[in-house]
Amino acid sequence: MARKILIVEDERDISRMLDYNLRKEGYSTAVVEDGSRAALAAAKERPDLVLLDVMLPGLDGTEVLRRLRADQKTASVPVIMLTAKSEETDKIVGLELGADDYVAKPFAIKELLARIKAVLRRSSAKAAEASRFKDGGLEIDFDRVLVTVKGKPVEVTAKEFILLRALVSAGGKVLSREELLERAWGMDSALDIETRTVDVHVGTLRRKLKSEGARIVTVKNFGYRFE
């Protein structure tokens, strides 16, 4: 089934351009032009992602986002904010409103499509992660961030935990070092940190997991998978 994107944008040229390009990419879309109707539309349409302009008639984008987060039906929907001025960008970053990403206008559609893909990938990975994993001697409680090997607790760092969770949740699929880097260090820092950092953390993680560590298998020149 096509993933649905709700476009909240009052400038027709932009909403039409977005609508056209997103459909061309295989997404289904819905468009709302008024901020005051956006939260309601999101609760009704149940989109997989919301593109949310900041300057809107009715209700501004930051208030719309607040309402989305306050409603249980839309609390976890990924949101990408579209900002027109650098002050808006600062405000969004500063307020930590819980937007998943933001894109400044004017933007290149290719860039926006890449951001959408990345945010959707992260959100589906999150949803797929069960709250608990138990197999062989390894036990992970994802909610309480606890790792045990053969009943003994293992102390892992936050990054190591994120890497372990990603590998275990991938269900045997190989994850590239870039993917792991993005998961543990975030989209932006993925540009500045070398992929070798992932190798270093995986190395420490393996040692900490003792006999279970061998289940993290190196796939040469690509990444890692969990057996």
Task: Note the residues at the interface with Ca ion (CB under 5 A).
Answer: 10, 53, 55
Q: Among residues 35, 29, 62, 21, which one has the least CA distance to residue 48?
A: 29
Quote the tokens at residue 203.
Answer: 């190395």
- Shortest separation between residue 14's beta carbon and Ca ion, angstroms: 8
- Shortest separation between residue 143's beta carbon and Ca ion, angstroms: 39
Check if the beta carbon of residue 77 is closer than 8 Å to that of residue 122.
no
Query: Residues 150, 151, 155, CA angle at the centre, nearest 5°?
Result: 95
Q: Among residues 135, 138, 131, which one has the least CA distance to residue 211?
A: 138
In terms of CB distance, is 55 or 149 closer to Ca ion?
55
Contacts of 17 (CB under 8 A, 6+ apart): 109
In terms of CB distance, is 36 or 123 closer to Ca ion?
36
Check if the beta carbon of residue 99 is closer than 8 Å to that of residue 77.
no
Sheet harboring 152-154: ordered strands across? Answer: 132-135, 138-141, 146-149, 152-154
d(CA 147, CA 200): 19
In terms of CB distance, is 82 or 170 closer to Ca ion?
82
In terms of CB distance, is 8 or 138 closer to Ca ion?
8
d(CA 184, CA 202): 12
- Shortest separation between residue 105's beta carbon and Ca ion, angstroms: 9
In terms of CB distance, is 105 or 208 closer to Ca ion?
105
- Shortest separation between residue 214's beta carbon and Ca ion, angstroms: 54
In terms of CB distance, is 53 or 182 closer to Ca ion?
53
Residue nearest to Ca ion (CB): 55
DSSP state of 226: E
d(CA 15, CA 18): 5
- Shortest separation between residue 185's beta carbon and Ca ion, angstroms: 32
- Shortest separation between residue 84's beta carbon and Ca ion, angstroms: 7
